[in-house]
Structure 1
């Protein structure tokens, strides 16, 4: 049976995951937070007696499944799953080390597969719940020098969309969040590598704005979430006029 007062949030040691977990905790929900960063997890949970930290590497399939089993055994069945764990190094494909590219896919896509596969059966058992996965606008509209990250997010968007269609009448609300640049530590990770000029056309939005859009989508039962000004239109333009989009990107980048 679903416990609609219990959530699991990945990437809980910082950024979007931290804010999401703390927001839910402030609403009175119990929240299990997962991350590989133990210190960050403790910082997120500090001052909250309803946030419970679990250190785990999302790329470790066995560890993820075991951790989720432990969480359910200790706190009851899940209702909301929010997967926000990711890394975001940028770089031209030729300049980006092959092992690093694969690592991005392992964490951003493989980690998402592990988390959704480990948690979805519990939601299905209850015929209720919310599966919220963070993808990216770069998983809809790619730009130069983001090959590894964009590929991982395209894969994420496709996987979650198909998963939602395969369980259309399950009672579960599936949400795929595709934000533009967001003011979190993840953004600085990208800027520390290479920063495409095209991304400066729109200033980064706040994580609060993203989470507000998520909550609205959940209430309306909407699958795609495009927070920020112009993102939904951008997604449509990408589908209709991809060559025009690429011409503009090349003009801005100068190569």
Structure 2
């Protein structure tokens, strides 16, 4: 992957930062987009972007592509969380989360497509979630947004295959990231909530950001040239396995 030009949204922390580091290890040239660039992965270029603002996204993608000398790979990783049932989130919150988690991918992808079309090794990888497959309590809005991301991924794969652009997504289980820790910090019993999240993973542990990053890099790798329209679970078996209840 030496010399491939990679752009990662939400690349300043968590899964995005781990993914940037993995691409750098593979010899890729990496740029990240994020709203907060106070901490950025080493050996990457960083640009401020707000995925809810189309002009901001277009400007940042253009700057990144010009700085890198083009684009080969786009990783749509940025996203936000939400908790509650369908009764708990306001219309405003529904619009906000869908705007970032779903339409944010649309904005970044359409800004990057003109550059990706110039690449002979173009790929897009979207960070989705096991919530697209598995009913999780208190995650109605978040699950709906990620279910839409999974469907969008498959539609994009069909649309852009004739252009030589592969599109796939990863579905992580609960990952041990700063974002998840922030959710835990808001819980009445953070330690108990972490134990509950861990217990629902068949492996008995949370997914690591590095494990998700490894899968993203694999899907983006030109050596995965026959892989498109694929949804890859990185969930410790949560989607398909059931642990004994006793």
TM-score (structure 2 length as normaliser): 0.83
**Which one of the candidate residues 79, 82, 86 is aligned to 2:75?**
82
Residue 171 of structure 2 corresponds to: 178
What stretches of structure 1 of length at least 5 have no aligned partner? 238-255
Structure 2 Cα separation of the partners of residues 216 and 127 of structure 1: 17
Offset of 1:162 from its aligned partner?
Answer: 0.2
Q: Is 1:66 aligned to residue 65 of structure 2? A: no
- Shifted more, 178-187 versus 119-128: the winner is 119-128
Displacement after TM superposition at 1:231 (Å): 4.3
Structure 2: runs of 5 or more not aligned: 188-192
Q: Distance in 1 between matches of 2:184 and 2:93?
A: 16
Within 2, Cα distance between the matches of 1:121 and 1:140?
Answer: 32
Superposition pairs for residues 1-255 of structure 1, below 5 Å?
4-41=3-40, 44-45=41-42, 48=43, 51-193=44-186, 197=196, 200-202=199-201, 203-218=205-220, 219-220=223-224, 221-222=226-227, 223-231=230-238, 233=240
Partner of 2:190: none
**Structure 1 CA distance for aligned equivalents of residues 117 and 75 of structure 2:** 16
Whether the 8 Å CA contact 1:8–1:81 is kept in 2: the answer is yes
Q: Which moved more, 1:143-152 or 1:163-172?
A: 163-172
Alignment partner of 1:167: what SS?
Answer: helix
Q: Is the 8 A contact 1:131 1:172 kept in 2?
A: yes
Change (3 A) 1:129 1:4: farther
How far apart in 1 are the matches of 2:32 and 2:234?
23
Judging by fraction of residues, say which structure has more helix. Answer: 1
Query: RMSD of the alignment, in Å?
Result: 2.4
Residue 193 of structure 1 deviates from its aligned partner by 4.9
- 8 Å contact from structure 1 (residues 87, 108) kept in 2: yes
Q: CA deviation at 1:208?
A: 1.4
- Deviation (angstroms), 1:14: 0.6
CA–CA separation in structure 2 for the residues paired with 1:215 and 1:24: 7
- The CA deviation string for residues 111-155 of structure 1, in whole angstroms up to 9 with x for no partner, is 111111111221123343111110001012232210111111111
Q: By how many angstroms is 1:87 displaced?
A: 1.1
8 Å CA contact 2:15–2:177 kept in 1: the answer is: yes
